[in-house]
Amino acid sequence: MKSTTRAVVIGGGIAGCSTLYHLTQEGWTDVVLVERDELTSGTTWHSAAQVTNFGMTQTMVGLKSHSIALYKDLRDDPDYPVGYNHGDGGIRLANDERTMEGYRHFASMARGMGVEYEILDAEECARRHPLISTENLVGGLWDGEDGHIDPAQLCAALTRRARKAGAEVYRKTAVTGLTQHKDHSWTVHTDQGDIDCEVVVNAGGYRVNEIAAMMGTHHPVASMEHQYFITDTIPEVRDAGQRIPLLRCPISDYYSRQEKDGLLIGFYEQDCRTWGMDGISPAFSMDLCPDDLERVSDVLEGAIARMPVLADAGIKTIVNGPITYTIDGAPLVGHVPGIRNAYCIIGLRAGLGEGGGHGWLLAQIIAHGEACYDTWGLDPRRFTGHGNAELTALKAIEDYQNEFRFHIPHEHRPAGRPIKTTPLTPVLAAEGAEFAVVNGWERVDYIKPTPEFVETHSFRFNETFDVIAAEVSAVQNGVGLTEVNGFNRMEIGGPGAREFLDRMICGRVTRKPGKVGLGYLLNHQGCLKSEMTVANLPDGRIWLGSAAAAEGHDMDWLLAHAPEDVTLRSLTNEWTILLLAGPKARDVLSGAARGDWSPEAFPWLSVREAFVGIAPAVVMSVSFSGELAYEIHVPNNQLYAAYLALRKAGDVHGLTLFGARAVESMRLEKGYLHWKADILTEFDPFETRLDRFVDFSKDFLGKDALLKRRENGPGKRLVTLALDTREAPAHGGASVMQGAKVVGTVTSGDWGHRTGLNLAYAFVDPALAAPGTALYVDVIGMDVTARVIPAGPYDPDTRRPRS
Ligand SMILES: Cc1cc2nc3c(=O)[nH]c(=O)nc-3n(C[C@H](O)[C@H](O)[C@H](O)COP(=O)(O)OP(=O)(O)OC[C@H]3O[C@@H](n4cnc5c(N)ncnc54)[C@H](O)[C@@H]3O)c2cc1C
């Protein structure tokens, strides 16, 4: 066994084997995989091993397409052909129009990745799948690439290729401890000896948190028991004259595929069980949980109703094994939060289908710092501070129970709520607030017009349209107040702080005390990493602010580059913003806080300390809505006091409450961007129309790469589109078309209530970025005509926040 290597991958399931293979493909050939037992002895060996191409984001579709291409290549390898039934096809069923609309949106989104799903009616579903009834069926989504693979052969083939490239695989070698050294390198302790390495990768499957504990951390991953059975020969399958396609049913929560001359049926029962919450026996390997078909009887009934041949089918084999889930259903692939040189590829619940792609993206992240796609949806740093074992278990159960029921726009499911709150949460709830969840925080989405108001979640505009319109109007014409909790806020200090910020941000950063500026941080590829406000408090302190979701990500990025004379302290959990917006915002602030708040004394982009009522606050005159606005940052223990003072001062000015959805509508009208919707690692500042935030006269991280990118010209350009429909917004991922050709992808979309425009942002081919260009957008299957308009159609000279 080697005693030193570059990377040690812990775990020989599909996650570890794929990572090992792809590391060698990225040029890291001195790498090792250690497996406590035999390869695939965790979950992988007994997987139903279906490989589908369906995903709900472009990154998911892209990585699954990579899996399929790789598996086809392995299948066709003459030296070691892997058993892979590619192209059986598969149907996701629907018994309501809303699910069909979702499928139409996903079809639009996938087209941008070169993947064609077909939307079928019920009769066509039955034509392609000869065993199903059309009872209670509206239609489905067809994915022609669906199939299944032999998991053991797949892992053997991947490690075989990795070994050929220089990697080594140590079976029967359990990792027993991990020691990190001052230079962030590691010693991996195993029961066969120690290995020193630069980088460790946790690919431990359901033992993820045993390995995490060795690093002194915990991951929001929980295991669920999951069952399938395989039938005896079914004559209708044997004699069908075709392979039986895969089936996924959100109506009764089962899936099926052909297995020899029978069927394999898997279940997501409502009466489900977590597994291993109190520890896992070291002896559990190549093992299964006791089967319990009683538990799945409700969903089995649904499966029999859809496929009547099942009623007479004998059961040959039952499998019940642990399967891992996370808080939001997506895996955790990337940096281990807060620990340098540590990566993970965990929480895979469809690891056979996705594992090829996840390993590919992770290897790129390890070798180059970034993958070819923006991987935020998989990034382990997307949960901060709330991913404990209990919450994870609740979300895992909820997700398991809704396996094939995707989230409808603005849907926030109830399990594990509330977890992150402020003293104002119950106060705002009593005011009728409807909350959305942002990085665990309960954030006001809108104020319900009546206590009975219930939103019918939809891909179309719904009954919230008028509610948001009224909130926007109140802000535009008077003054509104909302809470922005969880806003990521750091205090940066130390003698090197200014120089450090200058190096990290690609534009000029104001150093003037009392001033606020906006800056962008790039990665080593010259693309966009983060967006930050820099606030120079008059007493010399510097605050950095960014999106709530960015808390773990931004701290990690800054700490990874900060020299020793720079300190960073998170204030995220101690402070909250009260956002006051509208032409009367100054009147309300003046009524609540002593001082001269006139535009001369406190112009746009200023910051100062003040008391709001009796509560200490840091006030910034910045605006995401495009109206005159103040961000009032208040320590949480005095937040209610500040809120009361503002409400009182606001009474005479007709102050109303509003929420994040109104802000979303207003920021689109201003051309402002949202991190990880519009600001992505796949694009540089020029492509993202942030040219004015780049200053080549100074040095900054990513400068050389950005200069090269500029020379090559933009691959895409971010534009604003006005769509000719009042029926639905364009959802992120929707394809922008010219004729039959996909020429771009929507990043954000919503109705602009002040402009009366259905607005969307999209990255499109640069030749089509000029205002006036006519395009169309595939919005839930409708071909909607659209035209490129100048960014920020509302108050284009930005006079209102300066007024
Ligand atoms: C019943 C069932 C059906 C499924 N069907 C499908 C399907 O149809 N399609 C699909 O895509 N997915 C399916 N899945 C999910 C899929 O099987 C998993 O996502 C995948 O196998 C997980 O792979 P993994 O490598 O992450 O974990 P594992 O396969 O569990 O691998 C982890 C490995 O790490 C090793 N390890 C742990 N701790 C240590 C240590 N300390 N030292 C060394 N090694 C260690 C373990 O021994 C194990 O081999 C199914 C799962 C179940 C349970």
**For the segment 262-293, what is each residue's pLDDT rounded down to a tens digit?**
999 999 999 999 999 999 999 999 999 999 99
CA distances from 632 to 579, 588, 607, 620, 624 (A): 6, 12, 10, 6, 14
> How do residues 433-450 score in pLDDT, each as one tens digit?
999 999 999 999 999 999
Q: Who lines ligand 1 at CB under 6 A? A: 10-16, 34-37, 41-44, 46-50, 174-175, 203-207, 210-211, 226, 228, 266, 285, 319, 321, 323, 348-353
612 phi/psi in degrees, rounded to 5: -100, 105
Nearest ligand 1 atom to alpha carbon 174: 42
Cα separation of 199 and 329, whole Å? Answer: 26
392 phi/psi in degrees, rounded to 5: -60, -40
Helix 58-75 / helix 151-164 crossing angle, nearest 10 deg? 80
Going from the Cα of 207 to the center of ligand 1, the distance in angstroms, rounded, reads 10
| 781 and 725 Cβ atoms separated by less than 8 Å | no
Give the full edge-to-edge strand order of the sheet including 607-612: 607-612, 615-620, 629-635, 575-581, 480-484, 656-657
| 666 and 624 Cβ atoms separated by less than 8 Å | yes
SS3 state of residue 92: strand
Among 94, 92, 109, 14, CA closest to 52: 92
Going from the Cα of 44 to the center of ligand 1, the distance in angstroms, rounded, reads 4
Cα separation of 531 and 490, whole Å? Answer: 13
Nearest ligand 1 atom to alpha carbon 348: 19
Going from the Cα of 265 to the center of ligand 1, the distance in angstroms, rounded, reads 19
Going from the Cα of 13 to the center of ligand 1, the distance in angstroms, rounded, reads 5
Going from the Cα of 588 to the center of ligand 1, the distance in angstroms, rounded, reads 57
Going from the Cα of 138 to the center of ligand 1, the distance in angstroms, rounded, reads 35
Q: Whose CA is nearest to atom 25 of ligand 1?
A: 13
Going from the Cα of 46 to the center of ligand 1, the distance in angstroms, rounded, reads 9
Paired with 317 in beta bridges are 230
pLDDT at 274 (0 to 100): 98
Q: Which two tokens stand for residue 234?
A: 């079914």
Q: Which two tokens stand for residue 374?
A: 């923006």
DSSP E strand stretches across 386-456:
433-438, 441-447
Q: Which two tokens stand for residue 764?
A: 């499109």
Nearest ligand 1 atom to alpha carbon 255: 8
pLDDT at 557 (0 to 100): 97
Among 519, 546, 517, CA closest to 605: 517
> How do residues 48-97 score in pLDDT, each as one tens digit?
999 999 999 999 999 999 999 999 999 999 999 999 999 999 999 999 99
pTM value? 0.98
DSSP code of residue 40? T
Nearest ligand 1 atom to alpha carbon 214: 41
pLDDT at 261 (0 to 100): 98
pLDDT at 297 (0 to 100): 94
Q: Whose CA is nearest to atom 33 of ligand 1?
A: 11
Going from the Cα of 339 to the center of ligand 1, the distance in angstroms, rounded, reads 24
What radius of gyration do the chain's Cα atoms show? 27
Among 562, 590, 556, CA closest to 380: 556
The pick from 10, 36, 47, 52 for probing ligand 1's pocket by mutation, whose C-beta has the most ligand atoms within 8 angstroms, reads: 47
Burial of 253 (0-12, 13-18, 19+ CB in 10 A): buried
Paired with 274 in beta bridges are 224
The pick from 43, 248, 318 for probing ligand 1's pocket by mutation, whose C-beta has the most ligand atoms within 8 angstroms, reads: 43
pLDDT at 803 (0 to 100): 93
Residue type at 277 in one-letter notation: M
pLDDT at 802 (0 to 100): 96
Going from the Cα of 151 to the center of ligand 1, the distance in angstroms, rounded, reads 10
DSSP code of residue 245? P
Contacts 24+ apart (CB under 8 A), 419-422: 419/386, 419/391, 420/385, 420/386, 420/485, 420/486, 421/485, 422/483, 422/485, 422/576, 422/636, 422/639
pLDDT at 666 (0 to 100): 98
CA distances from 515 to 496, 500, 692 (A): 19, 18, 18
Among 158, 200, 160, CA closest to 178: 200
Among 120, 131, 122, CA closest to 244: 131
Counting as low any pLDDT under 70, the low residues of the chain are none
